[in-house]
Chain A
Amino acid sequence: MATQLEEIVVVGYGSSSRKLLTSSISTIKAEELAEYPISNIDQALQGKSTGVQVVSNSGTPGGGISVRVRGISSINAGSNPLYVVDGIPIITGNYGQIGFSGQTINAISDINPNDIESISVLKDASATTIYGSRASNGVILITTKKGVAEKTKINFSSYYGVQQVGKKLDMLNAREFMDYKNEASIAAGGLPVYSQEEIDNNTIDTDWLNEVLGTAPIANYELSASGGSKATKFYVSGNYFTQTGTLIGTAYERLSGRANLDFKVNERINMGTNIGISYSINDRKEGDQSLNSPLANAIAMPAIYPVYNEDGTYNDDGPFANPVSIGNLHTNTGYAFRNISSIYADIKLMQGLTFHTKWGADYYNLREHTYDPPTTRQGGKYNGLGIESSANVINVVSNNIVKYFTEINNKHRLNALVGYSFESYQHRSSYLRGQDFPNENFQYIASAATITEGSTSALDRGLNSFFGEVKYDINYKYLFTLSGRYDGSSKFGENNRYGFFPAASAAWRISEENFFNLDVVNDFKLRASYGLTGNDGIPDFAYMNLYSSGANYQFNPGIYPSQLPNPDLKWESTAQFDIGFDLSMLGSRILLTFDYYNKQTKDLLLYRPVPPSSGFGSYISNIGEMKNNGIELLLAAKILESDFKWGLTTNFSLNRNEVTKLYNDQPIDQIGRGENSVRVGYPIGIFYNYESLGVDPSTGDIVFKDVDGDGVITENDRTIIGDPNPDFIGALTNNFSYKGFMLSVELQYTYGNDIFNGTRRYIESMKGQDNQLRAITEVRDRFLYLPICPIIFSRNKCSILKTNPLNLFRQIKPFKRKQTSTRHLPDATMPCNYQGFMAATQYWPPSCHQITPTQQVPFLNIMTLA
């Protein structure tokens, strides 16, 4: 169960028992993580915690994932939470330099989830403020397993499963495609493209999706040992995880090891170390917006082209590059080495006073290698194309804390800490692109005759922080917490180099009062908190007056002024109010947690335009505002507690987002292919476009709503046609156990989010060379085009539509679709709830199952050696 009264909860720079918490924190325990085979931390968060939305940006194993705690609270500064592993804030995000449209690399996929003892999700200001300028998007504290003073336990576990795609797009087969093309040509006044004889004699009918999607194994092997004496405790583990993607040529492999050691030097001093290393290999393919993507090409490629020529070589006669040839011949691999390690010492200075110091480093090295041989279409264009890139990142962290505890008359308790921390971050990267390779035996840049691009970059950053916290309670009944952090960052402008982030919270355990005598209730606590946090996700050097190279004059190198300074530049800041209660009933058999929160974010980073006569276009400035508010509900019940046990956990979260201020309140429009928009008065990322009223049967064209009623369709007729933010999200988990056998069934849902289905722009466009969805053939009036479109576009006002309205009509066709998702044991990876702002702008196939594997993972063996 997620909540237990006496449970020890890891909080910022310490821990606390749950009953004495005054803030809103969700926790996930190792036992819960063990219920499902998961490959990385983000999956562990999904459905397990209220207020947390996990969005898979791609179905690629090891690929990028977005995590949102209590909604989106930034436009340009990032919305991912801060991750802290064993007290060390870690590097997250994508360091890949070979982006390939959405196929990003996920820097936290390197941590083995089986090493995790607990995860705390810090949500309200009282919990997060101690992380100051990085806390606005929530903080996720990950604690790895430690040894305990008992007999050594050795544990081996493994699982093996296979994944396959649950549902595929139903595309036209060869004959249907030929009929459709003929009809199109005749409708346009031309001759049939294919003669009846060609249609009758055709023997080629390739199911391209079948060719690139397959059954893929997933396996995990894990060996760990833990134990210790009073003086020395240890936990060591080794893990090998391998997952093949259901899409041709994709895979993820991870080898990791961990050693957590704790020593008691004497009565006063404890020391220890946490060492975690991993190496992963990530085979990727170009993403879905690329013309070199196996999946997108397999969807778009008509069935009339064969995979292979008669001589066994790949056939590349089709309009798009042969997806099977890309899948098999194109190399795009990321190799990541990661080491997150720390050492610590706890020194008891005197009664109640301890000094804690921890030094750690997160080292991340990513090397990427791509190669397209001349036998692929893309490689052929460049006579072999190769890219080598590397990124080296190191973040050194030092935490130094003095803690004080005192108890007066068994009544008043005071817990206080003050600390100093610094972080030093370095990022170095290089990138080389070459073409003209001798043959496919030479795949590295050294063999490229022409180097077309080469670059390097260096970035240093630092953070200097002071923080403190005071907790005070009276008789465990009235609880108070004050906390704060003073952060100085090299990212901030000189006028705002340091920021102060305070918070206060209080809780009242009503059930401790004498007047409270409801027997069914064993604990009832009211909580409230308010505080300030920041988001420091602003670009480095953004406040500075910058010069850039590239202004060559007469072929001599030259530099030019490229950025206006903004010495006032600072973090985005969020003020959050939270009120809630924790209720425990029937001897803790029923636990209920409720929170309401209201987050007001201001100083959002936006690009502020300047007069072009200054020689610049814009500069970055703290301008925008938005708010999020919502409720979270968690209910856990032990329904049966005999030999046969049945536990039920359900959580429910609802968030409402509204953008309240932009620069001059000018909307930010046409973001991505989904044409998301950021507008004052609306949730972030709404779909703002022309509203389709359906197809005009007399023309076959889509008719758009004339919103302003002026008789013509101009850009003023765009309107809100959808919202990618869910109405609510949640999960329902049932755990059954009988004498050591366990079954867990989980259902997750998101409701009310509209999804932009970019694929349908093409596969229902009935134009171009793309294959079409079979369902489209049911549109019987599909080719009754008139030469002149009935709706007249006004010149000068609507440039996106001016070129050829007839063609674009079918392209600008946003679709609304509600989707919920489910997952059942044994279902190993992400279900398809890629709702949310970022994901909504991706180019998704209509069925998420296309690239997100829906697995069938039977457990083969799990054994424990004692």
Chain B
Amino acid sequence: MSSDNANATGTILEYNDISLNNLLSNNTISKSIWSACYIAINRVNNTLYYLPNIENISDAEKNDISGQLYFIRGLAYFNLVKYFGDAPLKVAPTLSTNDINLPRKPVTEILAQIKDDLEFALAHIATNVNGRASAAAAEALLAKIAMYELRWADAETYATNVIEKYGLGLLSDYAGLFNSESNSESVFEVQYNDQDKNRMAEYVFPTSLGGRYEVSPTEGLINSFAAEDVRLNASFDGFADKPYCKKYHQISSGADRVYVIRLADMYLLRAEARLKQQASADLINADINTIRQRAQLEVINLQDYDALLQEIILQRRLEFSFEGQRWFDLIRNNLAIEILTTVESSDQLLFPIPFSEINTNTAINPEDQNPGY
């Protein structure tokens, strides 16, 4: 919603502020992102704290479980630094009210921690089940972190490994990604069923279909699809009246999965990493074409790096619409201010530290707030 893919069109007014990139520090939506990450981190830390005491499981199993936990924690911290920048770094559980005031730590320090954790995860996770953290997921997250840190060669290596080593493959039919069957393109996803449900479909569906239409696709997004691009009709509907996203469509059961990382992401990341290293255009075109061909688009052969970069960014926009990537893709490439009409200042590239954190945490003062808030 912060990007140019989605608009707030429902009744939640704080979505509107996010859509306009005009947040206040008491925005409850951004606060809930912050809190949700730290709730996950605390749960991971609790489990890690008690794991050594559990009897009757082998060290290998413990390492597998630790690896999965490190992945979850790493993912939460990666989201935190992407949204908020510097953040409190907590690797021990909150067991009392004595250890609750922690200062913001630099992004580099947090990333160093989670890279270590993910390397452990990569080495020790044996589990390979859709919906659980796997070694492939750890490696994919390392690729994404490397991109964030501009370590292009590392990113390329990690992405290549994810593509080649784990038996993953792109689904031939893009629309099939959003039915309820599990698939081999998924690197990490969050699964739901009718007991543990989400409200994704409810929030994106129009009211005529029982939804709230809180978030809907922008005209710009819809118009960016080529006519023959199968992803348009696989992702959206209602073009005549109220266009809506249908990647999440199980409105009664709330059982739609939410992708965190798909293999397609690795192809486009690798293309981007190679481009930044001025690698051969053929290699870059090959990865882009893998994605284009699946979308029933014609093969391209661009030689100009600028044009290639634009194509990568466009394909990412179309491929991952409503999957939470566009905003960070634009920021990573320093394009947010140029492309987004609602972003005028680099201050807007980070969300504010929630007011409730600053107000209660004695180690974070009002002057520690991100600039511009």
Bound form: Cα–Cα A610–B42 in Å: 14
Q: Are B191 and A554 within 8 A (Cβ)?
A: yes
In the assembled complex, which residues on chain B have CB atoms less than 8 Å from the CB atom of A560?
39, 43, 46
Bound form: Cα–Cα A613–B94 in Å: 10
Q: A68 on the interface (CB 8 Å rule)?
A: no
Q: With A552-B196, A561-B43 given, is the CB distance from A613 to B357 under 8 Å?
A: yes
Stretch touching chain A among B95-103, B113-121, B242-250: B95-103
With both chains docked as a complex, state the minimum distance between the C-beta of A548 and any C-beta of chain B, in angstroms. Answer: 11
Interface residues of A in 572-620 (CB under 8 A from B): 609-617, 619
In the assembled complex, which residues on chain B have CB atoms less than 8 Å from the CB atom of A803?
11, 13
Chain A-chain B contacts (Cβ-Cβ < 8 Å), number: 87
- What does the 1/0 interface line of A549-568 toward B look like (CB < 8 Å)? 00110110000110011100
Q: A796 on the interface (CB 8 Å rule)?
A: yes
Interface residues of B in 23-64 (CB under 8 A from A): 24, 31, 34-35, 38-39, 41-43, 45-46
In the assembled complex, which residues on chain B have CB atoms less than 8 Å from the CB atom of A555?
191, 193, 195-196
A804 to B, closest residue via Cβ? B11
Q: Are B38 and A614 within 8 A (Cβ)?
A: yes
Q: Which of A552, A611, A799 contacts B357 (CB 8 A)?
A: A611
Q: Which of B13, B24, B97, B364 contacts A566 (CB 8 A)?
A: B97
In the assembled complex, which residues on chain A have CB atoms less than 8 Å from the CB atom of B42?
561, 614-616
Q: Are B360 and A611 within 8 A (Cβ)?
A: yes
In the assembled complex, which residues on chain A have CB atoms less than 8 Å from the CB atom of B356?
609, 611-612
Bound form: Cα–Cα A530–B93 in Å: 46
Q: A229 on the interface (CB 8 Å rule)?
A: no
Q: Which of A615, A617, A802 has the most CB of B within 10 A?
A: A615
Q: Are B357 and A612 within 8 A (Cβ)?
A: yes
Q: Which of B31, B93, B97 has the most CB of A within 10 A?
A: B97
With both chains docked as a complex, state the minimum distance between the C-beta of B353 and any C-beta of chain A, in angstroms. Answer: 9
Bound form: Cα–Cα A609–B357 in Å: 9
Q: A328 on the interface (CB 8 Å rule)?
A: no
In the assembled complex, which residues on chain A have CB atoms less than 8 Å from the CB atom of B360?
609-612
Q: Which of B43, B100, B354 contacts A610 (CB 8 A)?
A: B100
Bound form: Cα–Cα A616–B99 in Å: 12
Bound form: Cα–Cα A802–B13 in Å: 8
With both chains docked as a complex, state the minimum distance between the C-beta of B149 and any C-beta of chain A, in angstroms. Answer: 23
Q: Which of A545, A561, A613, A802 contacts B87 (CB 8 A)?
A: A613
In the assembled complex, which residues on chain B have CB atoms less than 8 Å from the CB atom of A799?
13-14
B68 to A, closest residue via Cβ? A553
With both chains docked as a complex, state the minimum distance between the C-beta of B109 and any C-beta of chain A, in angstroms. Answer: 15
With both chains docked as a complex, state the minimum distance between the C-beta of B305 and any C-beta of chain A, in angstroms. Answer: 41
In the assembled complex, which residues on chain B have CB atoms less than 8 Å from the CB atom of A561?
42-43, 46, 93-94
With both chains docked as a complex, state the minimum distance between the C-beta of A796 and any C-beta of chain B, in angstroms. Answer: 5
Q: Which of the four size classes fits the interface of chain A?
A: 20 to 34
In the assembled complex, which residues on chain A have CB atoms less than 8 Å from the CB atom of B39?
560, 615
In the assembled complex, which residues on chain B have CB atoms less than 8 Å from the CB atom of A554?
129, 131-132, 191
Q: B224 on the interface (CB 8 Å rule)?
A: no
In the assembled complex, which residues on chain A have CB atoms less than 8 Å from the CB atom of B88?
611, 613
Q: Are A612 and B97 within 8 A (Cβ)?
A: no
Bound form: Cα–Cα A26–B24 in Å: 56
In the assembled complex, which residues on chain A have CB atoms less than 8 Å from the CB atom of B131?
554
In the assembled complex, which residues on chain B have CB atoms less than 8 Å from the CB atom of A611?
88, 100-102, 356-357, 360-361, 364
Q: B90 on the interface (CB 8 Å rule)?
A: yes
Interface residues of A in 712-744 (CB under 8 A from B): none
In the assembled complex, which residues on chain B have CB atoms less than 8 Å from the CB atom of A545?
95-96
Q: Are B46 and A612 within 8 A (Cβ)?
A: no
Q: B208 on the interface (CB 8 Å rule)?
A: no
Q: Are A551 and B35 within 8 A (Cβ)?
A: no
In the assembled complex, which residues on chain A have CB atoms less than 8 Å from the CB atom of B31?
612
Q: With A561-B42, A802-B13 given, is the CB distance from A616 to B94 under 8 Å?
A: yes
Q: Are B35 and A612 within 8 A (Cβ)?
A: yes
Q: B333 on the interface (CB 8 Å rule)?
A: no
Bound form: Cα–Cα A555–B194 in Å: 10
In the assembled complex, which residues on chain B have CB atoms less than 8 Å from the CB atom of A551?
43
With both chains docked as a complex, state the minimum distance between the C-beta of B37 and any C-beta of chain A, in angstroms. Answer: 9
Q: Are A613 and B102 within 8 A (Cβ)?
A: yes
Interface residues of B in 69-103 (CB under 8 A from A): 87-88, 90, 93-97, 99-102
Q: Which of B24, B193, B361 contacts A796 (CB 8 A)?
A: B24
B42 to A, closest residue via Cβ? A615
With both chains docked as a complex, state the minimum distance between the C-beta of A551 and any C-beta of chain B, in angstroms. Answer: 7
Bound form: Cα–Cα A319–B13 in Å: 28
Bound form: Cα–Cα A551–B43 in Å: 10
In the assembled complex, which residues on chain A have CB atoms less than 8 Å from the CB atom of B357?
611-613
Q: B345 on the interface (CB 8 Å rule)?
A: no
Bound form: Cα–Cα A614–B90 in Å: 8
A615 to B, closest residue via Cβ? B42
With both chains docked as a complex, state the minimum distance between the C-beta of B234 and any C-beta of chain A, in angstroms. Answer: 26
With both chains docked as a complex, state the minimum distance between the C-beta of A52 and any C-beta of chain B, in angstroms. Answer: 39
Bound form: Cα–Cα A616–B95 in Å: 11
In the assembled complex, which residues on chain A have CB atoms less than 8 Å from the CB atom of B102?
611, 613
Q: Are A615 and B43 within 8 A (Cβ)?
A: yes
Bound form: Cα–Cα A613–B42 in Å: 9
B80 to A, closest residue via Cβ? A613
Q: B229 on the interface (CB 8 Å rule)?
A: no
With both chains docked as a complex, state the minimum distance between the C-beta of A846 and any C-beta of chain B, in angstroms. Answer: 31
Bound form: Cα–Cα A302–B45 in Å: 58
A552 to B, closest residue via Cβ? B196
Q: B278 on the interface (CB 8 Å rule)?
A: no
In the assembled complex, which residues on chain A have CB atoms less than 8 Å from the CB atom of B45?
615
In the assembled complex, which residues on chain A have CB atoms less than 8 Å from the CB atom of B129?
554
- What does the 1/0 interface line of A607-651 toward B look like (CB < 8 Å)? 001111111110100000000000000000000000000000000
Q: B17 on the interface (CB 8 Å rule)?
A: yes
Q: Are A564 and B94 within 8 A (Cβ)?
A: yes
In the assembled complex, which residues on chain B have CB atoms less than 8 Å from the CB atom of A566?
97
Bound form: Cα–Cα A855–B85 in Å: 68
- What does the 1/0 interface line of A785-812 toward B look like (CB < 8 Å)? 0000000000010010011000000000
Q: Are A613 and B17 within 8 A (Cβ)?
A: no
27 contacts between A and B (CB under 8 A): A552-B196, A554-B132, A560-B39, A560-B46, A561-B42, A564-B94, A564-B96, A564-B100, A565-B95, A611-B100, A611-B102, A611-B356, A611-B364, A612-B31, A612-B38, A612-B354, A612-B356, A612-B357, A613-B38, A613-B88, A613-B90, A613-B361, A614-B42, A615-B38, A615-B42, A615-B45, A616-B100
What would 9 more interface pairs be, CB under 8 Å, given A565-B97, A611-B88? A555-B196, A560-B39, A560-B43, A561-B46, A561-B93, A613-B357, A614-B90, A614-B94, A617-B35
> What 9 A-B pairs are tightest by C-beta distance, nearest first?
A615-B42, A611-B361, A614-B100, A613-B88, A612-B35, A614-B94, A611-B360, A613-B38, A609-B360
